[in-house]
Amino acid sequence: MSQGHEEKRASVGRRFSLKKTGVFTIILIVAMLPGIGCSVTGSEIARRPLVGGPCEYKSYPGQAEIVSVAPWAPPAAEAGGRFDVKFRFIPDGPVEGPLGKAALQRTFSLLPDREMPPDRAFMEKFDIRPGKRIGCTLKVITRGTCTPILFDFPSLAPGDTAPR
């Protein structure tokens, strides 16, 4: 009985020896290495479009009318004298499409750096107050999955003089 068991063990050992398994593993790794070299590198990431892109927008020139200015009310440590500024867009001509038309029916927050509300220095530099109109462009997405509505304020760019 033990002799049959030894023969079975020997035949299994011949088929799956450590040498054969090791050689097979090395061949598999070497075969996969060229694929690893084809992965995207850091410089190639910079050339690729960001998530959601490439996108196209239709531009509508017009004006942003400031409708309200109020102190911003996040946690006190973050406030830093910032203001919640709301504006509505007034186009120079007709606006097409449901997104563009919807933009005419609501107000938006003015975010000069697209993240934070304006601080006191920005408010004073550009004389931001209710009723003031500032030249801007409404951009409505026509292709892609990026932000559907954007506003461009060329006269509120950092380092510029106050708009007239």
pLDDT at 164: 36
CA gap 71, 91 in Å, rounded: 28
Name the pTM for this structure: 0.61
Residues 143 and 81 in one domain: yes
Contact 84, 72 (CB under 8 A): yes
90 in any annotated domain:
yes
Model confidence at 1, in pLDDT bands (50, 70, 90)?
low
102 and 133 fall within a common domain: yes
pLDDT of residue 159: 57
- Are 34 and 72 within one domain? no
Indicate whether 26 and 84 sit together in one domain. Answer: no
From the list 12, 130, 21, 111, the residue with the least C-alpha distance to 69 is 130
Residues 12-69: tens digit of each pLDDT:
555 656 666 666 666 656 555 554 444 444 444 444 445 566 899 999 999 999 999 9
Contact at 8 Å (CB) between 85 and 69? Answer: yes
Same domain, 138 and 84: yes
* pLDDT tens digits, one per residue of 73-112: 766 445 568 899 999 999 999 999 999 999 999 999 998 8
Full domain range(s) for residue 150 = 56-156
What are 111-130's pLDDT values in tens digits? 887 788 998 889 999 999 99
Residues 128 and 64 in one domain: yes
In a domain, 129, yes or no: yes
Looking at the structure, tell me whether residues 120 and 143 fall in a common domain: yes
Q: Are residues 40 and 67 in the same domain?
A: no
Total of domains in the chain: 2
Task: Specify whether 82 is located in the same domain as 18.
Answer: no
What does the pLDDT read at residue 163? 43
Which residues, at least 6 apart from 92, have a Cβ–Cβ distance to it below 8 Å? 60, 61, 62, 63
